[in-house]
Amino acid sequence: MIINANASFTLHHPSNVEQACEIAKQLLEDGQQFDWVAGGTDLIPNYKWHINTKPHVISLAKIEGTNVISATEIGCMARLSDLTIANGAHPLIAEAASKVASSLIRKNATMGGNLCLDTRCFWYNQGEDWRRSIDWCHKADCGSGADCRVIPNQNTLCVATYQGDLAPNLMVLEAVVHIVGPSGQRQVSIGDFYQLDGKKKNVLEAGEFLLKVTLPKQSQQRIGCYQKLRVRDSWDFPEAGVAASWIAGDEKSLLIASTALESIPKMHDEQVSEALAAGWNGADSVKSLSVAIQKSINPVNNTTLTPRYRKKMVRVLAKRAIEGFLQ
User: Which residues make Cβ contacts (< 8 Å) with residue 302, sequence separation at least 6?
Assistant: 120, 121, 122, 123, 150, 159, 160, 161
DSSP code of 83? -
The DSSP secondary structure of 201-270, one letter per residue, reads -BSPPTT-EEEEEE--GGGGGEEEEEEEE-SSTTTPPPSEEEEEEEETTEEEEEEEEEESSSSS-EE-HH
* Last residue of one domain, picked from the residues 155, 172, 206: 155
What distance, in Å, lies between the first and last C-alpha atoms of the chain? 57
Number of domains comprising the chain:
3
Q: Is residue 231 part of a domain?
A: yes
Burial class (CB in 10 A: 0-12, 13-18, 19+), 141: middle
Q: Is residue 167 part of a domain?
A: no
What pLDDT does residue 236 have?
Answer: 87
Q: Are 36 and 58 contacting, i.e. CB atoms less than 8 angstroms apart?
A: yes
Nearest-angstrom CA–CA distance, 305 and 283? 29
Nearest-angstrom CA–CA distance, 58 and 68? 20
Q: Are 53 and 45 contacting, i.e. CB atoms less than 8 angstroms apart?
A: no
Handedness of CA 41, 46, 52, 55 (dihedral sign): positive
The DSSP secondary structure of 121-171, one letter per residue, reads -TTTSS-HHHHHHTT--STT-TTS-PPPSSS-S--S---PBP--SHHHHHH
Q: Is residue 116 part of a domain?
A: no
Written as one letter, the residue type at 61 is: A
Handedness of CA 85, 90, 91, 97 (dihedral sign): negative
Instruction: Compute CA distances 81 → 87, 103, 106, 108, 214, whole Å.
Output: 10, 7, 5, 8, 19
Q: Is residue 105 part of a domain?
A: no
Domain harbouring 42, CATH code = 3.30.43.10
* Last residue of one domain, picked from the residues 131, 155, 179: 155
Residues 311 and 232 reside in one and the same domain: yes
Nearest-angstrom CA–CA distance, 292 and 315? 8
Q: Is residue 296 part of a domain?
A: yes
Nearest-angstrom CA–CA distance, 313 and 23? 45
Q: Is residue 137 part of a domain?
A: yes
The segments of the chain whose pLDDT lies below 50 read: 1-5
Closest CA to 38 of 102, 110, 90: 110
What pLDDT does residue 222 have?
Answer: 97
What is the domain range of residue 261? 227-326
Vertex 53: Cα angle to 18 and 30 (nearest 5): 50
